[in-house]
Structure 1
Amino acid sequence: MTAVPPRQTLADGLEISRILTGLWQVADMEKDGVTLDPEKAADDLEAYFSAGFSTFDMADHYGSAEIISGRLLARYGAGVRPQVFTKWCPEPGPMTAGIVRRGVQERLDRLGTDCIDLLQFHWWSFEHPAWLDALHEMTRLQQEGLIKALGVTNFDAAHLRLALSDGIPLVTNQVSFSMIDRRARGALSQLCAERGVRLLGYGTLCGGFLSDRWLGKPEPAEISDWSKMKYKRFIDAAGGWSGFQGILSAASEISRKHGVSIANVATRWVLEQDAVAGIIVGARIGETEHIADNRKPFSFQLDPEDHERLEQAFRATREVPGDCGDEYRKPPFLTASGDLSHHLAEMPLAHDAVAAPHRPDATKVLTGSDWEEIAGYCRAQKIGNRILVSGTTAVAGAARAVAPCDAGAQTTYILDKILAALTALGASANDVVRTRIYIVDEADVLDISRAHGRVFSGIKPANTLVVVAGLIGDHKVEIEAEALLQAT
């Protein structure tokens, strides 16, 4: 087999290297306030491009990575040139056309280009529904020619499905994917196969832990490197150092068989997953480069015996809890920064609780919809320790039904709205004791139930599901809920 990096088509006019050069370590290199020289750093990136690793991945918060990549882009004309992928990661809040345009334009300005090859969107809390507004605005900017292709990062299967069913033309989802973190092999990969979305995997080497240097080594007592702090948490979540060493041992056997390294085996394993278009391998530009080693995963293939040996090692570990992206949104937080509760608590809520003037022991949540005034109701009301949530449908804006042909996606959106109301009243999904679900088509029962179970499988409130003659417009499901706050 050739060791030339193969190409992968993501969208019309967008062909990428299957190993992307990740620039997240620029932020780590610049964390003490010293900025990299952009021209010299661009020289280092050009070496990757010349070797066939033509695709670079970064984000708005990766230090000066966008500026460095812009200097690289400026060296090429309209012909063969690097592909530059970046991310926009705004904090939750209103996503008006102006706000989204400014966010995209800042990426364009820093990159010094008039079109972003792939713009990927990250959202911290799906309880704030403006993420879907942002994606629709980004779609409009794509139609204007400012963006070639759209992707998301750290979306679980349910919310990726919701975005697709609401008409967002996503081509990628960038998620953690490694021999330690195998969550993306499940529902997310199945959805990608059904909808034609491809995964970009990061963390494939777990910050360098999946390499020969850690085989047989004792568990580190202290870690100062941001990346290793993050992926040590993944190792712990997957069952600890013993199970990790079991995976390393299996990968070592396979690496000796093929004459490659453990890192090459780890990379190859992710590349052979059907949903994966490419993986992101970080580069500490100007300090170390791995161009030669990045070629080796394309010089061999894992055979069935290799895969079974790895599966045997996997069975001695635990699955990382939750779904893809959960590590950024709820415990157990598995990020470099650790517990993000304080960060998330500082973000604006989708709605605020307001006093109920007719009785001093009540507070309400209003969403500002016209119907709340016309019909005289609130989204949710708290009286004492009891919270009642009105019948909720998947409405965006004034009256648009979200994902009109997908009852499961509507259920996901509805439950996010319900959780947002509960959060504003000091409650959570754990406090829900009853839900009632009204649906119009018996054929949707399984999809709706699975979406309900994604939120409540570990809580199991009382539940009633009823097929009704009809709901207004394109709504396929309506849900109401009741919660009881626990005594403190």
Structure 2
Amino acid sequence: MTTPERRELAPGLEISRVLTGLWQIADLERQGPIDVDAAAAAMDAYAEAGFTTFDMADHYGSAEDIAGTCAARRQGDLQLVTKWTPEPGPHTPATVREAVGRSLDRLRADAIDLLQFHAWRYPDPSWLDCLFALQELKDEGLIRHLGLTNFDAVHLDMVLNTGIEVVSNQVSCSLLDGRADGALTEVCRKHGVHLLAYGTLAGGLLTERWLGAADPGPEGVKTWSEMKYRRFVEAAGGWDRLQALLAAIRSVAEKHGVSMANVAARAVLDRPAVAGVIIGARLGRSEHIADNRRLASLRLDAEDRGRLAAASGALEPIPGDCGDEYRRPPYLTAAGDLSHHLGESPSPYPVRAGVGGRMRADSGTVWEEAAGFSRAVRIGEHIAVSGTTATHGDRLIGGDDPAAQTHFVIDKIEGAIEALGGALEDVYRTRIFIPDLAHWEPVARAHGQRFGAIRPANTLVQAGLIGSGYLVEIEAEARVGS
């Protein structure tokens, strides 16, 4: 049987193109504790077959402990890929170090091969503080490589232009979910970043088990994966649309004498920026080692790709951008909301009472105190946001890319408005100032990406900006509930 494919994800980090996902550990532990040694032995069987790369997270139950137990038995031939998904709100370098230290202890490692970071809310800039602290730990050697998970194209580009050394982004990507195929793939190819695709089999829904089956309904799916991806099916147009897709996958599978899972995974592996697909394992309960090994020899031809593309094209697009299922309705999660993941999110910026019944939000830049102004002020239903540049603390976000700076400026504006009880959709007026007319189009297009459905009144003018490196400044006005 063909040896599993491998790919260099980053210098010194070669991975199996089929990563074994350990999210199911947390699901299995809903029924009770797992025998760590037995699960590690089951994990070892994957490694012996050539599937040496394992994907997990700090919140996947005992996954890191199991992986650490397995790694301790082997001669350093595993690639352990984990995630950190901190609660929203402020984090310090010390709390970031503590979180990474916990994973290192559980993995029994002196460095993490790939640490992937998830940010819950972009309008709260504390996610950047986490990434800067992680970059410092990478420079120190506790993390070998940094990755992201569930980042959209805009914010991946922002991170890379800011100078944070990211090598990968893990996102949902399947024949059911094509959100990663457009702008995100373009950003990855521009910067040389790889995608790691999860949800490739849609929690098993893209396999023989569900072909011709009646819709089980919300009560008929049992695992967290099935619960989650049934919501994706609903968003994509419903069970009949799924069956049409499954029929197309089956026809290609029969032609090549392979499983439907092989076809669904191969279709994603062949996408331009994808370095690997993550296929979940219920360690000690069921395994797919032999089936996964067939992937290496499967080649889809033009006819196959056309048939699969037509079936996928008949689906409704999954709403939003990559990762939006964790950031805004409709929440395409197992629970249909964020109750499994989060409590109440803190305000993006501190809010204080001002004179005359005003409320004000501050972003913490030195000039707010020195020059006597607020990032935003609310009087009654009205919110005014000061001219805002791509500053976070003493750092410039977005580097010398005007679009990246613009998106961070709009994130700051959104955060200030949210802090005062409004939403970006409440904005009815923006004013944009740029020092270099050569940048007007990328700035305007970035504004259009964020405000295209809102359509506030807008003015864009050329003007000198105070401060070094700033390519754009924006002010905004909003009316709450408008």
Smaller-chain TM-score range? over 0.9
Please name the residue that 2:449 is paired with: 454
Please name the residue that 2:380 is paired with: 384
For residue 69 of structure 2, give the secondary structure of its aligned residue in structure 1: helix
Please name the residue that 1:338 is paired with: 336
Moved more, 218-227 or 417-426: 218-227
Moved more, 438-447 or 195-204: 438-447
Moved more, 128-137 or 151-160: 128-137
Shift of 1:355: 1.3
Counterpart of 1:122, as a letter, is H
Q: 1:342 to 1:61 in 2, by over 3 A?
A: closer
Q: Is the counterpart of residue 419 in structure 1 residue 449 in structure 2?
A: no
Please name the residue that 2:21 is paired with: 22
After superposition, residues 72-111 of structure 1 pair within 5 angstroms as: 72-78=70-76, 81-111=77-107
Please name the residue that 1:43 is paired with: 41
Moved more, 91-100 or 316-325: 91-100
Aligned partner (choices 241, 248, 256) of residue 250 of structure 1: 248
Please name the residue that 1:163 is paired with: 159
For residue 30 of structure 1, give the secondary structure of its aligned residue in structure 2: helix
Whether the 8 Å CA contact 1:440–1:471 is kept in 2: the answer is: no
Shift of 1:91: 0.8
For residue 459 of structure 1, give the secondary structure of its aligned residue in structure 2: coil
After superposition, residues 167-182 of structure 1 pair within 5 angstroms as: 167-182=163-178
For residue 306 of structure 1, give the secondary structure of its aligned residue in structure 2: helix
Please name the residue that 2:463 is paired with: 468
Shift of 1:276: 0.3
Please name the residue that 2:147 is paired with: 151
Cα distance in 2, alignment partners of residues 144 and 346 from structure 1: 33
For residue 301 of structure 1, give the secondary structure of its aligned residue in structure 2: coil
Q: Is the counterpart of residue 12 in structure 1 residue 11 in structure 2?
A: yes
Whether the 8 Å CA contact 1:158–1:451 is kept in 2: the answer is: no
Moved more, 191-200 or 444-453: 444-453
Whether the 8 Å CA contact 2:162–2:396 is kept in 1: the answer is: no
Shift of 1:325: 0.3
Moved more, 324-333 or 134-143: 134-143
After superposition, residues 5-404 of structure 1 pair within 5 angstroms as: 5-32=4-31, 34-78=32-76, 81-221=77-217, 222=219, 223-340=221-338, 346-356=344-354, 358-360=355-357, 362-397=358-393, 399-404=394-399
Cα distance in 2, alignment partners of residues 346 and 483 from structure 1: 24
Whether the 8 Å CA contact 1:22–1:282 is kept in 2: the answer is: yes
For residue 469 of structure 2, give the secondary structure of its aligned residue in structure 1: coil
Q: 1:303 to 1:201 in 2, by over 3 A?
A: same
Shift of 1:251: 1.0
Cα distance in 2, alignment partners of residues 406 and 345 from structure 1: 35
Q: 1:440 to 1:93 in 2, by over 3 A?
A: same
For residue 288 of structure 1, give the secondary structure of its aligned residue in structure 2: coil
Residue ranges of structure 2 left out of the alignment (5+ in a row): none
Moved more, 410-419 or 452-461: 452-461
Shift of 1:343: 6.5
Counterpart of 1:20, as a letter, is L
Shift of 1:3: 2.4
Cα distance in 2, alignment partners of residues 157 and 57 from structure 1: 22
Shift of 1:309: 1.0
For residue 113 of structure 2, give the secondary structure of its aligned residue in structure 1: strand
Shift of 1:457: 1.5
Cα distance in 1, alignment partners of residues 337 and 248 from structure 2: 32
Deviation string 1:3-27 (CA, Å, 9 cap, x unpaired) is 2101100112111100000000000
Whether the 8 Å CA contact 2:20–2:55 is kept in 1: the answer is: yes
Shift of 1:75: 1.2
Whether the 8 Å CA contact 2:433–2:473 is kept in 1: the answer is: yes
Cα distance in 2, alignment partners of residues 376 and 413 from structure 1: 23
Whether the 8 Å CA contact 2:87–2:342 is kept in 1: the answer is: no
Shift of 1:470: 4.0
Counterpart of 2:96, as a letter, is V
Counterpart of 2:144, as a letter, is K
Whether the 8 Å CA contact 2:374–2:386 is kept in 1: the answer is: yes
Whether the 8 Å CA contact 2:163–2:399 is kept in 1: the answer is: no
Shift of 1:216: 1.9
Shift of 1:51: 0.1
Cα distance in 1, alignment partners of residues 341 and 306 from structure 2: 41
Whether the 8 Å CA contact 1:404–1:475 is kept in 2: the answer is: no
Give the TM-score normalised by the residue count of structure 2. Answer: 0.97
Whether the 8 Å CA contact 1:404–1:476 is kept in 2: the answer is: no
Aligned residue pairs: how many?
480
Cα distance in 2, alignment partners of residues 442 and 95 from structure 1: 38
Task: Output the aligned Cα RMSD.
Answer: 1.5
Whether the 8 Å CA contact 1:237–1:320 is kept in 2: the answer is: yes
Give the TM-score normalised by the residue count of structure 1. Answer: 0.96
Of all paired residues, the percent bearing the same amino acid is: 53
Deviation string 1:5-63 (CA, Å, 9 cap, x unpaired) is 0110011211110000000000001124x221211111100000000000000000000
Shift of 1:353: 2.3
Cα distance in 1, alignment partners of residues 7 and 271 from structure 2: 14
Deviation string 1:377-419 (CA, Å, 9 cap, x unpaired) is 101111111110000001111x322223111111111111111
Shift of 1:479: 0.6
